[in-house]
Structure formats: structure tokens, C-alpha cells
A and B are shown apart, each in its own frame.
Chain A
Amino acid sequence: MAQSTITIVTRVNPNHLDALDRLLSGIGHDVEKNEYVRFAEIASLHMAGIVIAAQDPRFPPILIFESNFDGTADEYLHALVGHGRGGIDAIYSKCEGYPAESARTDATIIAYLREHSLPAAAFFVGLPGQTVASIRNAIAVREEINCFLDAESAKNSIRGLSAFAIRDLIVAHLERDSPVRPEIPPITFSSYRRIAQRNTIVAWLVGLLVGVILSPLLVIWILAVRYLEVREQKEKRQPDPPVDERTYAMEDLFIQNHLATIGIVKDNPIRRFTIRTAVAAVGIMFQRILLRGGFGGVFTLHFAHVVWLDEGRRILLLTGYDGSALEYIGNFTDTAGFYLNGAYGNVRNYPPCKWLIGPGAASANGFANWSRQHMQYTPVFYSAYPNETVLNLMNDLDIRDHLAAAKSEHEVERILKLL
């Protein structure tokens, strides 16, 4: 089943900003068991984050509620209201346009949320096609195998056994005694890699053809962008909004963390066209072609998507990632800056790019500073599997989906190495 995302953006009533801040901080403090929104009861929900963007005095304060889930947005919104009506009322009654108390029904609330939802201009999924249930099952299977092996090791009963023999013991345990059974989906995670290979070949061919046809226009466009890059370097830097100090406290509390940035698109039609094209291209690349997990070689990203704010004047990026913020930002500098520069090279105060390729994010200090300066405060962050990294989950899916079926000794050894 495909994962989806929804981003609800509402204006906060300035008189209620502090109260909203306090309410969300309270929810975020105990996101699993809070009484307002029972995220954990929404079976289809992978990740959710609630962001307050109120630092930049040039723009009115907004509330951003993003969710990544299995199934359709309608199904999710019904589940959200069903498991968090009290919280939705408490949160959105502090925002503009929320139905008056007398007019509030599940239907009017869902209509309000729908009306304020903005489409994702690009959407990345770290583990394409894997439902919450499938991921949780893979985690449980790996944990059960580890417990079993620890117990058998303590009894000295696996010493000297071959890889095949150990595999057979594990499989027998999972079939016979284990409280957890592997539930292998019809399309496994690894089959997405094969789909990605096929898509990549097709994409190259299509890209080549389109490139040849449009080459005169492309040359003019690229030269115009380069001209702007050179000219803008001489211009005075625009002031950045102040940093919300609380972003420091929130950025690496857990194994998974949330990062939201808002940048202002440079005020130039070529820049606006370029950023829209680049975001669309990256979106197609990771949503339709490279369905193998990993964003340009970065394997710490669970979900990410881009949303246009204020008719495209601002670009909002929302991500759920593994590890510390510094490491996460550094991953892009080290490995995947190219994918950001095409888009973010068109954003104010982003480290200068050359031909929209480098350095930009490859400038370690400049990119870290830009990211820090544009981070938004995320008081609420929920994950359905908060203790697992993308790398862990890729292993877990591999173990569950292939251990029993492995035919060769090499394949069995490969999978046992993942434990």
C-alpha cells in the first residue's frame, strides 16, 4: 500500500499564540499518552509533526500539521478526528476560521482540515510501500529472533552449527513457538529496488529525449540562472528571521527527530520557475523512479516533503530523520547536496551555488548556518516506531522477508549477518 502525506496549514490567531504554544508543548511532552490526540491509536499513522512558524515578523504566525500515513487522506482525517477530536478542537480553536462550537461536527471539522491542506510538491518515503503494520511486524520478528538466539547461546545449543542449521532452528521457532509470525507482504521492500532499476532506465531514456528536444531552451535557462548567481553575490544579504532557541532543545532528543525549515524564494521569475521545476523533478525522481529508500545516498530519512506557502513565495520542507540534527545536515553536505541545490539555490541567503550544482549544501558551515537560521519549532512529533532508524528497518524487512526463503549458504549467511 502506498504511503501518503497531508499538510494542514492554518493561520494562528495572534491572541492565542502563547496558549497554543503551551498546549502543543504539553502534548509533545507526552505524545504517546496525551489526552488530546491519541496518535498511537491511529493504526495507519507513521509519523506526524506539529510545527509553529511564528519567528518571522514579515509573515503571520502559522500552524503546520503534517502527517505521513497509509491509505487515503480521507481515511486518515476520519481516523484523526475519531481519535483526537478534543485535541483538534483545542488546537484549531486557536486558529483562524475554525468552525464555531455550535457548528462543529466531525464533518465540518474534516472539511476545515481538508480546506486548509496544501499539496506536497515533492514527497519522499524512506521505505516505499511498507505499511505501519508491516514495519512493526518486521521489528517484532527481528526482536524475537534475537531473543531466541540469546537464549540458545546461553544454553550453548547453537555452538558449532552451520548457518543453514541455525536458520532452520530460527524458522522452526517462528513457526512453532513464537508469539510473532512473519507477515510477508505481496510486494516486499526489495522488490521496489527492482522496480527502481527498471524505472531508472526508462527515466534516462525519456530524459535524454526531452533534453535533446529542449536543449536550446535549456542552455538559455542555465545561462540565465548562472547570470543571476553571479549578480546576486554582489547584492546585500537580506536579514534572516531570529532563531527560535527551542529548536536547539528539540533537535536531537530522540532516535528519530523532526526538522522543518521555511525559506523565502528569491523574488525573480527565473528563480521562481527554476525552483518549481527543480522541486518537481526531485519529487518525480524519488516518488516515481528511485523507489529504493535512501535520498541521494542518505539513509537517515523516513519521510520528507515540500509544500509551497503563500502562493510559492516560501518553501516549506518537513522531514522525519534519524540521529542528531548536526549529523543529518552533515549527511546532505557530504552526500546529497546536489539534490538540494537545484531547488534551494533559488532561496534567499542559501549558500551561493554555482550552476545550481555546487557548493550550496556542500558548504558545511554555510549550509549548517542556513539550516539553523530557518528551522521552525516542532513541539509535537510522533512516530509509530520511534526507536528504529531507516537502516534498522531496512535490515528488519530484509531479515523477515528473506530468511526462510534463502536457498544458498551465501544468502543465509548474508541475512544472519544482519542480526
Chain B
Amino acid sequence: MIAAPADRLDFHDIQGLVLNGYGHLDHSRFLFFKIVDARAAKRWLTVIASQVSSAKRRRREDELPGSQTNIAFTRSGMEKLGVPPDTIAAFPREFQMGMAAPERSRKLGDLGPSSPEVWQFGGPNTPTIDLLIMLYGRDEAVLDQSANREFDVSRASNGLEEVFRQTSIRHGSNEPFGFRDGISQPAIEGAGQKILPGQSIIKAGEFLLGYVDEYGEVVPVPNVSRELDPDRILAVDSSQPTRGSFGHDGSFVVFRKLAQDVVGFRSFLDRATRNADGTNNPARAKLLSAKMIGRWPSGTPLTLNSENDDPELGRNKYRNNDFGFAATDHDGFACPVGSHIRRANPRDALAFPAEPKRSLTIANRHRIIRRGRPYHEVSAATGEVVEQGLLFVAINATLHRQFEFIQQSWLNNTKFNGLYDERDPLSSANPGDGMMTIQAKPVRERLHGLPRFVTVRGGAYFFLPAIRALKFLAQTR
């Protein structure tokens, strides 16, 4: 580790997804491939590498393209494309093992119905995934054009075999449970993003390899011998001048398909909030759902308004994320300590260190950028939605300290922040007798009988290389 000053980001080298969620593009398609002919795949990569979307900044909305495409690789994909073993060995253990490894499943809570053995893709009983193409477009026609003409993914001579496909069409900004999603995103230092009130500015090294992170360090990145890079495509590794920096400007992508039991969620809320005479109480059900999540459906944080939903506040990006817990809601009387948003980002209210500023500093060492999209699967026969959920896509530079930490130590941790025996009420694998403490005066209430609302259907860890590294991959022998 070497301490280094904040670097300027190379927007032309970084893949666009790191800095841009492509919010203007409601249609997306995620194509998972197995490389069946590495030489052919490299030829294909040579052609398409320059068409992959970079993060180069544009000034006006109308300059944004109607489609964007990004590419990421698993360990096996990079091996097949000829990345040398010593370079692969420099990738973090969790990436090398893959999301479906038993050690990872235990940390992530991917057990029972969420276990990799029953996944639709990425598991031990499904075909190997080598690479992921993420296509974003204004409409389906644009996506078709990107897939079939620009990237030409379906042609057999490209050496790729599609093993899974997932589409997404976004309608509005709510996720399937009915809550506004994607509100609290960290800003990346040096990315030139507009900083919203309450938004944390996080060091680029938390999301990009080769930059200073929140500890003030630059973690060594996987590199390759210069002999393997005769055209000097890669930048020189500043810590080892005889090697080219393969990882620089790259990142890691977490992809998980999360099925949401919307009917089960609503039915649980109804059951748990019935009046004494057995009739439904929609107002209480809405309040309970807000307590579980930490926000009202509009996005209004309970910390800012614990009495009522406030749609104006909820959609106002200058207000809906401008809060901490420590000053006004330390004890969780408004937003429960175990609620989803408080577990996913405890902000300034960790149990220790109790000092809010220190707490925020530490919480900011475990942030991710979320690029999720909703999905709805419709029965061809009846036209009804048979499954819906979230295509969880996260960007981070250190899988075990960011995504896995949030999952294991915050969301799934029964002892989170001094609690006793409860997991995240929304996303964790509650077995049917899950519990949630709702802090209240003079004494807490406890919600019992929480079932599982979210099931993992598949997933994988990917390396999102820089554009230069993509070009290098295409020319490896």
C-alpha cells in the first residue's frame, strides 16, 4: 500500500457504468456468455472494445447516447482469454472463488431457497459464465440493434455461447415492493458529479482500482509483465515499473437476481396490522412497511417525517437524503435500528464508535454504488406477472470490504448495532419466525413471524476492466 494523492480520473478509460447509472435509458438487457472458442472471442473483442461505453463526460442531456454497453468478466473468462496465472492470483480471493462458492454463500446468506445449487445461472448446476454484456437502451429496438449489429453477440463465429439472458424495463422509480429506489448513492471524489445535500463524497479508490481509498491508501492492482503487452496498451504500474497495470481504472461488479415476493410482503403486512375485529388497517400496514424499510413509499425518510408520507419530500433529491440518525433519531424511535436503510448504511449511528463523525467515516468505508434494475417476468399464457424483483448490480473496488461486508455484517447480522436476534426484515433469509424490534417510547414493540421476502435466483462476481485492459485482453496470446 502506498499513500498517494488523489488522482485525476481517466474518464476515457473507465467503463461508463461506474460513473453513470444510465438513468435516461429505461430498457436494459443482461447477456451472460460462455466462451467456447477463445481465439474467436478475442477477435470479436478486438472489434467491439472501442465501442464499449466509457465514462467520458458529456455536458448536456441531449448529448447522451441512446444506448450504452458495458462488459465484465469472471475469473474463468479472463483465464480463457489468456490472462496469466500470476495476474489472476493477484485478484482478491472472493473474486477468484466466485459468488457461488460455499464460503461466499455462507457470508452472503445464500442458503436454502437462495443457495447456488438452485440458481437459474451462476451456480454449480448451471453452465459456466465467462462474461457479461450489459446493454442499456431507450427501447427494445435500440437494444436489438446494439446486441445484433454493433456487438454482434449472437453470431456463432464470435466464439460465445449465450447461457442466460435477463431483460428489464423500468417503469418509474419504484422497486417492486412499491418504494422509491436508488436514492442514497455515494458521490465519487474527482468524478465531477453534482453533490446533493446529505450525499457522502467517497474516495475514488473505493470504486476504482489504482486510486486512493477511504483509508488513504492505494491497494496494489493486478498487473502483467510488459512482455505480454508489446504494444504498450496498458499504463505502467507505478509500484512495479516493469509491469503493466491490468487492473487500473477497473472495478468489480456484483450481479444478483433477487426475486421479491410482493404478494407475500403485502399479505404479511395485512396480517400483522389487522384491527381487533379482524378487519384490515391499511394505514397501519403502510406505517409498518415504512418501519421495516426506513422510508415511506415516496422515499421520505422516517427520520425526517415519522408520522406521514410526504411525496413532495420523497421525490425532492435535495431533501430526501439529507439526514443522519445520530442527532435526532439515535435510539431509532423514528427509523428503527434494524430497518433496511439503517442496516444498509448506518451513516453516523454505529454502536461504536459512538461519536457521529467517526461513525460516518467508518460507515463510508463500506459503501457501494448501486446500478440495479427491476425485472418482471410475465406468463406467456396468461399475461400475468409470475415473478418480479430486482437485478441487483453493485460497483465496488473491494468485494469483501464493501458488498460482502454490508451483506454479512450489517444486513444479515443478527447482532447488528447491539440488536439481539434479528436480520434485515426485507432482504434477509428470515425463516418464517424472523423478528424485528421497533424501538418506541416507553418500551419497544417486537414484530414476530417474519418470513423470507427475497430469494436469490442467480448471480456472479465480475471484473469490469478499463477500456485499455479490454484492448489488452483482445490481443493476449
- Which A residues contact B (CB, under 8 angstroms)? 146, 149-150, 153, 158, 161-163, 166, 248-249, 252-253, 255, 294, 297-299, 322-324, 326-327, 330, 333-335, 351, 362-366, 387, 389, 391-392, 395, 412-413, 416-417, 419
Contact = CB atoms under 8 A, between A and B. Distances in A.
A418 to B, nearest CB: 9
A254 to B, nearest CB: 11
B400 interface: yes
Contact of B442 (A249, A335, A413): A413
A336 B217 CA distance: 18
Contacts of A326: 400-401, 404-405, 408-409
Most chain B beta-carbon contacts within 10 A, residue among A146, A162, A351: A146
Contacts of B445: 153
Contacts of A417: 331, 439, 444
B107 A252 contact: yes
Contacts of B405: 326-327, 330
Most chain A beta-carbon contacts within 10 A, residue among B352, B442, B448: B442
Contacts of B444: 149, 416-417, 419
A331 to B, nearest CB: 8
B443 A419 contact: yes
B409 A297 contact: no
Nearest to A162: B442
Given A146-B446, A364-B217, A416-B443, A391 B408 contact: no
A163 B415 contact: no
A353 B106 CA distance: 35
Contacts of B217: 363-366
A362 B216 CA distance: 10
Nearest to B409: A327
Given A166-B443, A255-B414, A363-B1, A249 B103 contact: yes
Contact of A365 (B1, B107, B439, B442): B1
B318 interface: no
Contacts of B414: 255
A364 B409 CA distance: 17
B233 interface: no
B457 to A, nearest CB: 25
Interface string B348-371: 000111000010001001000000
Main SS of chain A's interface residues?
helix
10 contacts: A149-B446, A153-B445, A163-B441, A253-B106, A327-B405, A334-B362, A351-B1, A364-B215, A365-B215, A391-B351
B353 A335 contact: yes
Interface in B378-413: 400-401, 404-405, 408-409, 413
A248 B352 contact: no
A363 B103 CA distance: 25
B409 A324 contact: yes
Which 8 pairs across A and B sit closest by C-beta, in order of nearness?
A163-B442, A391-B418, A364-B215, A327-B409, A389-B415, A416-B443, A334-B362, A365-B219
A335 B350 CA distance: 12
B409 A149 contact: no
Interface in B64-103: 103
Given A252-B408, A417-B439, A391 B415 contact: yes
Contacts of B439: 417
A362 B215 contact: yes
Interface string B326-362: 0000010000000000000000000111000010001
A326 B398 CA distance: 12
A416 B442 CA distance: 7
Nearest to B446: A150
Given A297-B353, A364-B401, A365-B219, A248 B418 contact: no
Contacts of A297: 352-353
Contacts of B331: 417
Given A324-B107, A417-B439, A363 B215 contact: yes
Given A322-B415, A327-B405, A363-B215, A163 B443 contact: yes
Nearest to B361: A334
Nearest to B220: A365
B103 A248 contact: yes
Contacts of A362: 215
B318 to A, nearest CB: 31
A196 B329 CA distance: 30
Interface in B101-156: 103, 106-107
A241 to B, nearest CB: 17
A297 B355 CA distance: 11
Given A248-B103, A249-B103, A298 B352 contact: yes
Contacts of A366: 1, 217
Nearest to B219: A365
Most chain B beta-carbon contacts within 10 A, residue among A158, A326, A333: A326
A330 to B, nearest CB: 7
Contact of B415 (A249, A351, A392): A392
B222 to A, nearest CB: 14
B400 A149 contact: no
A372 to B, nearest CB: 9
Nearest to B416: A323
A389 B409 CA distance: 13
A166 B442 contact: yes
Contact of B420 (A153, A351, A392, A416): A392
A392 B442 contact: no
A297 to B, nearest CB: 6
Given A158-B443, A162-B442, A255 B400 contact: no
A362 B107 CA distance: 24
A324 B418 contact: no
Contact of A392 (B213, B404, B418, B441): B418
A326 B365 CA distance: 13
Interface string B433-461: 00000010111111010000000000000
Nearest to A153: B445
A365 B448 CA distance: 40
Contacts of A412: 442
B393 to A, nearest CB: 23
A392 B413 CA distance: 13
A83 B401 CA distance: 42
Nearest to B352: A299
A127 to B, nearest CB: 15
A135 B459 CA distance: 43
Contacts of B103: 248-249
Given A158-B443, A324-B408, 13 more contacts: A294-B352, A299-B352, A324-B107, A324-B409, A326-B401, A326-B408, A362-B215, A365-B1, A365-B217, A366-B217, A389-B415, A395-B418, A416-B443
Nearest to B351: A391
Nearest to A417: B331
A150 B405 CA distance: 32
B216 to A, nearest CB: 8
A135 B435 CA distance: 24
Contacts of A391: 351-352, 415, 418
A149 B365 contact: no
A77 B441 CA distance: 49
B401 A161 contact: no
Contacts of A146: 446
Nearest to B331: A417
A335 B358 CA distance: 9
A388 to B, nearest CB: 8
Contacts of B1: 351, 363, 365-366
